[in-house]
Amino acid sequence: MTRERNDLRGAMLQMPALIVLLQGKDHVITFANQPWLNAVGPRHKDVIGKTIREVLPELAGQGIYELLDGVFTTGATFLGEGIPLDLDRFGTGQVERGYYTFHYIAHRGLDGEIIGIVVHAADVTSEYLARQQVQRLNAKLSTFFALAENAPDGIIVTTDGKISYANPAFRSMVAQGEACIGKSHAELVDDVSREVLREAEATSSPEEAWQGMLNYCRSDGSTFLGQASHFTIRDEAGGIRAVGSILRDLTDQRRNEEERDALREQALAAHQRAIRELSTPLIPLADGLVVMPLLGTIDSSRAKQIMETLLDGVAAQRARIAILDVTGIKHVDTAVANALVKTAQAANLLGTEVVLTGIAPDVARILVELGVDLGTLKTRGTLQSAVAYAMGKPTHSASAPSLKAR
């Protein structure tokens, strides 16, 4: 019997599991193998005969004492997995957290009465932390996968020159679905973009990301411009594992830019029209009488504008006489004079007589020196004299509007 007890004791001492025998309701330590002693720390050299509370006072508040009391009272076996314990292994007051799996088994005497507790434990700290790390990595992978699957931009991974992953956005962009898997990136772009990719591969460093514009081909034969970014994906050893690519379809962006440009051009044209209207006003003075004061410099574009404004105005106003006041014109040459003559001739075709006023002496001298023929164009020295002329001129018929001042 003694030999069997010694053999059992020797086996328990050699077991890698943490084993301790507690006796009585105070949980006095009667046996502890070396793995258990190593786990609680080198500060404990002689634990036999001491209570668990004396040996490990830092367990107070961690629920262990209460579990032991419950097993001793009820005899129910307790199994705990991955239980965190904070132990002061060196007696310095600095606790270290470990994770343990416990079996608390009631130890009964020959009469069945509970006389103590057998504690069988295992230090699973490394396994627990490794499992936590795996869980964190899986959570990250799950998050990144969900991000890629729901991203509005196309995302692909190319391994050994072939696409091994393409997110839904990319598959939708190229309209090929799962058929794009296994193809090279170059197979999805047109000839010009294929050359761009070849040049980028030949000149770019694996350490640097590459960005560029590529023209992608859809399965229906249509194309779209995309902004592509390529970057290297490395493994733990630093080797190249794959190439990642992010693609943004610029179709909507270009359409919006074109719409903005069109709106900008429309606004600019409207602004220019407003400036022209302000710089070449047509003012009605009386029934059948309008005046157009001219300012600044007259070029071919301005001359055309003057003619259009005058002809539209006299037609709308049913004017019999139109006064062109050139007092504010900075420079008069043959081209300006010819433009005025042509404007008058065009107005005459609509039944409107044109009176030119505001010709300064130096302008008159220039016109004479240039030999400009004003034809039948009436002239007056001042605007007042031109208005007086128009107001005193009889109408051509009884039905014509009178030149009665408003």
Segment 141-159, tens digit of pLDDT: 888 888 889 999 999 999 9
Residue pair 47/55 in contact (Cβ under 8 Å)? The answer is yes
Q: What is the pTM of this model?
A: 0.46
Distance CA 57, CA 71 (A): 19
For residues 19 and 30, the answer to whether their CB atoms sit within 8 Å is no
Angle at which helices 334-349 and 361-370 cross, to 10°:
90
Q: Kindly tell me if the per-residue pLDDT of 140 is higher than 70.
A: yes
Q: Which residue has the higher pLDDT, 233 or 403?
A: 233
- Per-residue pLDDT, 400: 38
Question: pLDDT at position 239, please?
Answer: 84
Instruction: Tally DSSP H helices, then E strands, for the chain.
Output: 12, 15
Q: Which amino acid is at 152?
A: P
Give the pLDDT mean for 81-86. 92
Q: What single DSSP character describes residue 396?
A: S
pLDDT surpasses 90 at 178? no
399 falls in which pLDDT band (50, 70, 90)?
very low
Which pLDDT score, from 0 to 100, does residue 235 have? Answer: 82
Crossing angle, helix 300-317 and helix 334-349, to 10 degrees? 20
The residue-averaged pLDDT of 40-47 equals 79
Distance CA(231)–CA(58), nearest Å, equals 52
Q: How far is CA 163 from CA 47, 148, 159, in A?
A: 64, 15, 6
List, in sequence order, every residue forming a beta bridge with 165; answer none if it has no partner.
Answer: 157
Q: Which helix (H) or strand (E) is 29 found in, with range?
A: strand 28-32
Helical spans, DSSP H, in 117-250: 125-150, 168-174, 191-203
Of 364, 366, 351, 330, which is closest to residue 397 (Cα–Cα)? 351
Write down the pLDDT at residue 86.
93
